[in-house]
Structure 1
Amino acid sequence: MTSSSSLTDKQEQRFRSLAFLTVIIIYLLILAGGIVRGTGSGMGCPDWPKCFGRWIPPTEISQLPTNYQGIYGAKLKGEVEFNAVKTWIEYVNRLLGVLSGFFVFGTLLASLSYLRKDKTVFFGSLAAFLLIGVNGWLGSRVVATELAQYVITLHLLLAIVVVFALLFVMVRSNAPHLQIKSIPEKTKSVRWLLLMVMVLTLGQIILGTQVREALDAVVKRLGYEQRENWIGNLDMSFYIHRSFSLVVLAFHLAVIYQLRKLPAISWLPTISNALITFVIIEIGTGVIMAYFSVPAIAQPIHLLLAIIMIGLQFVAWLLVNPVTIIAKGYKQDSRLVGV
């Protein structure tokens, strides 16, 4: 009996570790996607799933047919120019996508140990696996639609949903190990405030994709030689996005103030500190892009920080939600029931 219990504990610990690692891999994938976008490498591989018809991309133009532009440029109106750096940036992004799929599948297999104890963990892992499969297909549509903005935005939003699914099973599987003194009635207002912040942050992310689309148009018109003039030629979406960051900051300060007033709950103090840190750095990267000619390195970092922020908000919301942290089969704290 003791041996069986020990085995189950090890399986569950393995699952929690794998779920956390999978979240990290997904974040790296989002960072890679931001680098692809920021460097204009989206069509570095003009076909899918292969790259210039090869499973291992070429490193120099001599490895391509002399008429490669005619072969791969038919759909792109002949606008295919081989660039080894951009090709490999896009290809590494694809490799990370495949790796993340394997990790999510591994998380699903590891979640089988929860089928008897808490099926919600299994179904959350299954949802993450199905969603990342759909997002992989959306990645192929990004290439097929020649970087259509709406497909890129859907691709990003679905990646956020995958992160949410993984964060949910990570928090849920850690429920028995969370130190929770009590969850008072006032957390209901905190939960609503957190939901509002998530909606505002998501809106800011979507606004950011509109700014990115406008920037792409400016770059295409002015070229990289006039980088210092990019910001001055952006439309109103940039100014709305910039001003709205102050609203997001104000709501984050309100959330952090409310979270700090709650009784001790594992992870919440760390999340509160991380949130304000990431918000400040996020605004800082925005300022750097606005006043320092949009350096390429700042763009993917700006996006990644936003996704990390909304992930932290979601985890905080889960932690103050008793429905989440009271899992079937776990010992329930009577102070949490009925809240």
Structure 2
Amino acid sequence: MRSAAENQQRFIKYAKLVLYTIFIVILAGSIVRTTHSGMGCPDWPHCFGRWIPPLNAGQLPPDFEKYLKKQDIDHTFNAFHTWIEYLNRMLTVLLGIFIVLLNFMAWKIYRKTRPAIFIWALSLFVLVGFEAWVGKVVVNSNLGVLLITAHMIPALIIAGVCVYMIHLVHGKPFIINKPLKWLTWLAFVLVFIQILIGTEVRAEVDHVSKALRYTARETWLSQVGDALHIHELFAWVASLSCIFVVGKSFNHKETQKIGLLVLISLVAELFLGLIMTQMQMPAFAQPLHLLFSSIIIVALFSLLLRARIS
């Protein structure tokens, strides 16, 4: 029989696996959006009426026309788009399986001694179910721009809940000084606002790209309104706040790793932002840009949970 300490470490490791999978799902979802593969499977939960999608046009069902007419690009079968979207769905299913197993572990280990941990694990299951439902609504709406953005928000909440569970199991908060605590709060709020502005930029890019039938990619950003300029300027404000947090976090051994993660993600985020604005928004940069912004805000949330005024 495992000791309480062994069970704790086992649960934390598995919760971290769930957290890493969440980031992979966020990345996969962004790749779907960047490659315009969202309607690669025009129905949900099936794909062209099948559980396993076709590999070529010859495998389409007899009534395939009713599926293709839902698409917003060229109304033809594209195996690349279909399988990009299908793999994204499979990763979400995998995340759901991991969360079910995490619920089982929480029930087995903590249902009697720390029921709050099991309740939070159960909330993850509910949130993933909600995320799947939002995905169905997105498909039914033929990729409504606002709904696509809303599809990302539950994923960040799921990541936050997962981090909170790890914090609960870990136990004691780290003792840090008052300036770091309030600087972290400031950075968290500013990064969150920056993400919201970024979603507005992405929504405008989606409108432009769809109007151009996903051609002339190099002109998309030039047709975006003031939101892009606000996003670029505010990026430096949010980045400066993160840099102050990183500097303060390096003064404490317990927070150095999170500070380093924020710093690496911030440098990558700024570099990718410059690539997108200076190199006509290459497709590879968009998913990574979203991934690193997600890592930054989740890392800041983790730092807040560990903070206590000394």
TM exceeds 0.5? Answer: yes
1:152 alignment counterpart: 148
2:269 corresponds, among 266, 272, 282, to 282
Deviations 1:193-227 (A, max 9, x none): 32232222122222222212211222233355522
1:258 alignment counterpart: 248
Kept in 1, the 8 Å contact 2:209–2:220? The answer is yes
Kept in 2, the 8 Å contact 1:153–1:206? The answer is no
**Stretches of structure 1 lacking an aligned partner (at least 5 in a row):** 323-338
Aligned to 1:166, what secondary structure does the other structure show? helix
Aligned to 2:51, what secondary structure does the other structure show? coil
- Give me the TM-score of the superposition, normalised by structure 2: 0.92
Tell me the CA shift for residue 238 of structure 1.
1.3
2:128 alignment counterpart: 132
Tell me the CA shift for residue 172 of structure 1.
2.1
2:23 alignment counterpart: 27
Distance 1:225 1:72 in 2: 23
Deviations 1:75-132 (A, max 9, x none): 5689632110010000000000100011111111111212333333222212212111
Tell me the CA shift for residue 141 of structure 1.
0.9
Quick one: which amino acid aligns to residue 169 of structure 2? S
2:299 alignment counterpart: 312
Aligned to 1:155, what secondary structure does the other structure show? helix
1:61 corresponds, among 44, 57, 75, to 57
Kept in 2, the 8 Å contact 1:12–1:114? The answer is no
1:272 aligns with 2:272: no
Larger deviation: 117-126 or 95-104?
A: 117-126
1:37 alignment counterpart: 33
Distance 2:260 2:45 in 1: 41
1:231 aligns with 2:221: yes
Counterparts of residues 104-115 of structure 1 (less than 5 Å): 104-112=99-107, 113-115=109-111
2:187 corresponds, among 189, 197, 213, to 197
2:90 alignment counterpart: 95
Quick one: which amino acid aligns to residue 119 of structure 1? P
Larger deviation: 149-158 or 217-226?
A: 217-226
Change (3 A) 1:192 1:116: farther
Distance 1:297 1:78 in 2: 20
Deviations 1:133-167 (A, max 9, x none): 11111111110111112222222111101000001
1:52 aligns with 2:74: no
Distance 2:283 2:124 in 1: 31
Quick one: which amino acid aligns to residue 279 of structure 1? L
1:240 alignment counterpart: 230
Q: Sequence identity, in percent?
A: 35
Quick one: which amino acid aligns to residue 182 of structure 2? W
Aligned to 1:59, what secondary structure does the other structure show? coil
Larger Rg: 1
Kept in 2, the 8 Å contact 1:42–1:143? The answer is yes
Q: How many pairs were matched up? A: 309
Kept in 1, the 8 Å contact 2:71–2:142? The answer is yes
1:120 alignment counterpart: 116
Distance 1:19 1:67 in 2: 43
Distance 2:228 2:137 in 1: 27
Tell me the CA shift for residue 68 of structure 1.
2.1
Tell me the CA shift for residue 48 of structure 1.
0.1
Larger deviation: 198-207 or 43-52?
A: 198-207
Aligned to 1:104, what secondary structure does the other structure show? helix
2:286 alignment counterpart: 299
Distance 1:77 1:128 in 2: 33
Tell me the CA shift for residue 12 of structure 1.
2.6
Quick one: which amino acid aligns to residue 158 of structure 2? V
Tell me the CA shift for residue 65 of structure 1.
4.2
1:10 alignment counterpart: 6
Runs (4 or more) in structure 1 with deviation over 6 Å come to none
- Give me the TM-score of the superposition, normalised by structure 1: 0.84
